[in-house]
Structure 1
Amino acid sequence: RSQSRVLLRTLRRLRIPTLLFVNKIDRRGAREDDVLRAVARRLTPAVVPMGRTRHLGTPRARFVPGLAPTAAETLADHDDDLLTAYVEDRLHPARVRAALADQTRRALVHPVYFGSAITGAGVDALIGGIRDLLPAADGDPDAPVSATVFKVDRGEAGEKVAYARVFSGTLRVRDRLPYGEPRAEGRITALGVFDHGTDVRADAVPAGRIARLWGLAGIRIGDTLGVPRPAPGHVFAPPTLESVVV
């Protein structure tokens, strides 16, 4: 779709590491090789298939992890030493995996996974890729607090629950923080953090984590908690015919 092309083009321009997940392999008519060719043709040729599907288009569809034979060729486009080792037939699998992790983190290539969100097929492989191939979140937990709200839900009692990425500092229960624009001030009454796929209550959430916050009644998506971060400016290109035609 046109929005996919615009989005991936923006991610590549900003050098944001990106994994691709092709969903619904359990649906009738699901395709693998055709989709990979379409991704390479319409989105980017710098894709690395991370395995193969089995029983495609059936409820038994699954994803079997394993680097495609073409992975070394794709990675060698960005690494002269790897290209030399590939041509001389002395390329070790560990060297290929290391190059894959390095180039993924630099947004030079994009690993592609197949699966089904409904059945869970391929999800474990995707989670492993997030863990092994994407850069770890960092930030100074002792610096002034700076976090950005990217989602707001309602709790069981109808109260606002904010989801925020903590870029620096440490959020703590009972902290009073400025937030929003115009700036207001609120007190955090409870915190939650995601741990092994489960949301658990916490007394503090350090930099590099995703926090759930209670107590900030006026919070909105896009609000900054604590020290405002520099505005990123325009990251999307102006609309083109490609991005507006439906």
Structure 2
Amino acid sequence: MKTFPTDHICNVVLVGHGGTGKTSLTEALLLAAGTINRAGRVEEGNTVSDFDPDEIAKQISVSLALAPFEWKDHKINVIDAPGYADFFGDVEAAMRAADAAIIVVSAVDGVQVQARVAWDVAEHLSLPRAIFINKLDRERADFQGALDQLIDLFGAKIAPIHLPVGQEHDFKGVVDLLNEREITYAGERTEAPLAEGHAAEIDKLHERLVDSVVEADDALMERYLEGATIDPKEITAGLHKAIAAGTTVPVLCGASTAGIGVDLLADFIAEEMPSPEDRPSLTGSKGGAEVELKADPAGPLVAQVFKTVSDPYVGRLTYFRVFSGTLRPDTPVFNVTKNAEERVGNVFVMRGKTQENVSEIVAGDIGAVAKLAETVTGDTLGSKASPIALPPLDFPAPVYSLAIAPKSKGDEDKLSTALQKIEAEDPSFHWQRNPDTHQTVISGMGETHLEVIVQRLHRHHVEVETFTPKVAYRETIRSTATRRRLRVPRRDRRRCHPEQLHPLRRQGDPQGDGGRTARRVSVR
């Protein structure tokens, strides 16, 4: 793959609830671009982005994957992110590496939980968004119902720029409101002017689109309020600015498995979604002082690692996004986070599990290197002469735990080594050796997450059994004990309980401090 200038790079992450068709949409985009000759299917386990054995077995995405392709003199880096809550750590990492998010919504199921969570994260990161309503060719598909949900949940920002032609099994194309055309895919792709029957509905949605777009442009807003007619070309130009500002969230539609609307989505990403140059400057720190970073290939090298993967053939793979400068093969880099020097060998781009060597990764682009000794997810890479650190990535805290033990007693050391490697790959996973219960406890985002971890241990040649973690109970005095003294005849003292003889006065200990209390017995 050739090198593209920064303003011709688009980094988009596909997010949404599990089962909405993000992986199938990634396949359809690659097929439309001619990057692959045949679209894989999740059910057959042959898609580009779901290549992990656990993904093939469970037919879900369990980690992010990269799928770059060329489209109309642009490089589009698609990041296919998981849709299940157990793997949301990768979603947050992918959003930090992207310049825009496309939230995929099922026309059958409507707006589901993880779509709303992804929206909230994108809002927190000020990440521009668009929405793709997928699966319009399925039974019970309801474009209008999904659109109404989006408007109810997210408000006036929602602006549809596509309408479906037909529904369910009769779905055959898309009405493009921006370019005032109707595209159908019955056999061959054909374009035609808008039909008269759509006029009332189109006028209503067009007005909503204009209302949303002019909010990002003061000059357009002033003319619009004065009653002037806004030219369609001005709306198209203003849409790019409105998306980057976050005032407009366009809604597109299609059917990924049928290839309907996929080329229009690729056009939209290349023409309307922000490039790295359109994004606000990033703030880093250098020597305790804040530094503003622009996406400048000639600037100081600043890159952040957002994913680490263990490859059985080349060892550890490190995925990174360059925010400033240019990273080239066979050059030294400095891990600013670890204060350690690293040596970069070949530099490549990843497409699923396939590696393609490149001559450089410029500011705004995404790449990968192999066999970095100290670097893990979240670390900042730069130059030793000008070390600039980026804020660390935030990962959700584990919420579910299991105790594990190797089936073979000789595998304790292998288990520890394997867990350390997995933890380096997946920061939302943690493990510890509990000193009280003497159990090895693994913690993650849910039951499915830990099932995947156990399968990865198997691939590290460690077989384990799982148990419910034991709870170490502790007793502590919570209130002040009052001293009392009894006079007991000498002949009866041997038969008395020690507490009756001389109770010890003791202040209450704080809960959980592990304090111990001893009794004192006094015999006279």
Band of TM-score, shorter chain: 0.7 to 0.9
Distance 1:24 1:135 in 2: 26
Match of 1:82 in 2: 220
Matched, 1:179 2:339: no
**In 2 relative to 1, CA 188–10 (structure 1 residues): closer, same or farther, beyond 3 Å?**
same
**Residue matched to 1:42:** 153
**Kept after mapping to 2: 8 A contact 1:5/1:43:** no
Task: Give 1:147 shift.
Answer: 0.7
**Counterpart in 1 of 2:261?**
122
TM-score if structure 1 supplies the norm length?
0.79
Q: Could you tell me which residue of structure 2 aligns to residue 105 of structure 1?
A: 244
Shift of 1:149: 1.5
SS at match of 2:242: helix
143-152 or 174-183, which deviates more = 174-183
Q: Distance in 1 between matches of 2:218 and 2:330?
A: 54
Map 1:50-199 onto structure 2 (within 5 A): 50-58=161-169, 61-67=172-178, 68-69=205-206, 70-77=208-215, 79=217, 81-83=219-221, 84-85=223-224, 88=227, 90-138=229-277, 139-155=295-311, 157-179=313-335, 181-193=337-349
More helix by share: 2
Q: Using structure 2 for the length normalisation, give the TM-score.
A: 0.40
- TM-fit CA distance, 1:78: 5.1
Bigger CA radius of gyration: 2
Judge which range, 45-54 or 150-159, deviates more: 150-159
8 Å contact from structure 1 (residues 72, 86) kept in 2: no
- In structure 2, relative to structure 1, the CA distance for the partners of 1:132 and 1:216 (3 Å cut) is same
Q: Secondary structure at the match of 1:43?
A: helix
Letter in 1 for 2:370: W
Equivalent pair of 2:348/2:358 in contact (CA under 8 Å): yes
Identity %: 27
* Contact kept? 1:141, 1:168, Cα under 8 Å: yes
Using a 3 Å threshold, how does the CA distance of structure 1 residues 61 and 178 change in structure 2: closer, same or farther?
A: farther
What is the SS of the residue equivalent to 1:45?
helix
Shift of 1:184: 3.4
8 Å CA contact 2:336–2:381 kept in 1: the answer is yes
| Residue from 367, 379, 388 that aligns with 1:223 | 379
CA drift of 1:15 comes to: 3.0
Which structure 1 segments of 5+ residues have no match? 237-246
Residue type of the partner of 1:74? S
Structure with the bigger RCO (C-alpha within 8 Å, sep 6+) is 1
Determine the C-alpha separation between the residues in 2 that align with 1:79 and 1:136. Answer: 19
**Aligned letter for 1:71?**
L
Cα shift readout 1:38-57 (whole Å, capped 9, x = no counterpart): 00111232112121223432
Residue pair 1:39, 1:45 contacting (<8 A) in 2 also = no
Q: Could you tell me how far 1:166 is from its partner in structure 2?
A: 0.3
For 1:177 and 1:201, locate their aligned partners in 2 and report how far apart those are by CA, in whole Å: 18
- The number of aligned residues is 234
Opposite residue 130 of structure 1, the aligned amino acid is I
Conserved 8 A contact 2:172-2:260? yes
Q: CA RMSD in A?
A: 3.1
